Amino acid sequence: MQGYSLEKINKAIKKYAKKNENYAQLLASYQELLEIHFQYLEHIDVPFNLEEETIKEYLRQGHYLLADELLNLDFLKVRELMFKIARVLLNNESNLSQKLELLESLPELQAENLSQLLNRKGGNTPENVENYLRENSVQDKCNIESELISNIIFTALSPFYMSYAGKAAEITDFSLWSKGFCPVCGQKPMMAMLRKDNNARILECWLCHTQWNFSRLECPYCNNKDYYKMGYFFVNDEKSRRINVCEHCKSYIKTISLKEIEGNVILDVENLCTMHLDSAAQEKGYRPGQDLSLLN
Ligand SMILES: [Zn+2]
Ligand SMILES: [Zn+2]
């Protein structure tokens, strides 16, 4: 969704909602999140200090750009955004206002503690955040699942990462990068697409939404290159949307082939509207290379 206007994304969403009624409600919540997201994106300006040569050096050496530095986050703003997002994501919960109040008063989610949690090197992973929430029994304190709280936190962080990644993308196209994780923030790819013209595979990061090229003959999650341990399958004969699987690490990545698709594809929306593919893959015993989440 890097580089797309809200209008363009909304247009794509309308198309999906029409085609797939099952996803209508999910897409409606997603649209609410997008409104908030774009509102904030305009006012978020994360500093970016790397020069072109340094970036190239990082990419050549296989270091993602944030490997050695922490994102300069405004935690008061992150917190403010978190509770706007929480209102949307918790919409179906019973006792919503009571839960929101509890959530807002949690010491673990105050700006100062958030900064300690998220300002650790390598700390910004859903696993670390969920562990922290579990260690502090946050779920019991507010009656909201740790996974959902983590989802709220990362949905709030996403525009900050996107701001940083957008500045990096003005300087480089990441063609020097050949790893299976994001060249900007180091997270795993959420989905893949195959280009229309040359069928090259492009991966997209779930957090900062950077896109980069990656070999079609390698698993991005475990770097398995054994052709015989890789495969793919379709669901309902829908050949433009496939599930690539790796027998070595038993993970899967959903892939959309642009050759068979008309118009723009926004992978974040695709990801959301292809949850039937996730179910199919998981029924066959594969796990998502990157955990599923709503806006991220
Ligand atoms: Zn990223
Ligand atoms: Zn693998």
pLDDT for 45 beyond 50:
yes
In this structure, is residue 120 part of a structural domain? yes
Ligand nearest to the CA of 249: 2
- Structural domain includes residue 146: yes
Q: Ligand 2 mean position to 47 CA, how many Å?
A: 35
pLDDT digits (tens, 9 = 90+) for 203-225: 999 999 999 999 999 999 999 99
Which ligand sits nearest to residue 182's alpha carbon? 1
Kindly state whether residue 202 falls inside one of the protein's structural domains. Answer: no
From CA 264, how far away is CA 123, in angstroms rounded?
Answer: 34
The C-alpha angle 211, 64, 166, rounded to 5 degrees, equals 45
Q: Give the range of the structural domain holding residue 91, as residue numbers without chain letter.
A: 29-171
278 CA → ligand 1 middle, Å: 21
Condensed to tens digits (0 to 9), the pLDDT of residues 163-219 reads 999 999 999 999 999 999 999 999 999 999 999 999 999 999 999 999 999 999 999
pLDDT at 79 over 90: yes
Q: Which residues does 116 contact at the CB level (< 8 Å), separation at least 6?
A: none
Domain-located, residue 6: no
Q: Which ligand approaches the C-alpha of residue 225 most closely? A: 2
Burial of 53 (0-12, 13-18, 19+ CB in 10 A): exposed
Give the C-alpha separation, 117 to 75, whole Å.
11
CA distance 11 to 24: 14
Number of domains in the chain: 1
Q: What is the pLDDT of residue 275?
A: 92
E strands present in 54-200: 189-194
Cα–ligand 2 centroid distance for 205 (angstroms): 17
The pTM score is: 0.92
Confidence of residue 107 (pLDDT cuts 50, 70, 90): very high
Banded pLDDT at 292 (limits 50, 70, 90): very low
Q: Name the pLDDT band for 118 (thresholds 50, 70, 90).
A: confident
Q: What spacing in Å lies between the alpha carbon of 55 and ligand 1's midpoint?
A: 15
* Ligand 1 centroid distance, CA of 284 (Å): 28
pLDDT at 124 over 80: no
Report helix, strand or coil for 217: coil
Q: What is residue 51's DSSP assignment?
A: -
Q: Is residue 216 part of a domain?
A: no
Give the span between the Cα atoms of 143 and 128, in whole angstroms.
20
Residue 166 lies in a domain: yes
Residue 116 counted as domain residue: yes
CA 32 to ligand 2 center in whole angstroms: 35
- Please name which of 217, 205, 196, 215 lies closest in space to residue 265, comparing C-alpha atoms: 196
- Domain for residue 217, yes or no? no
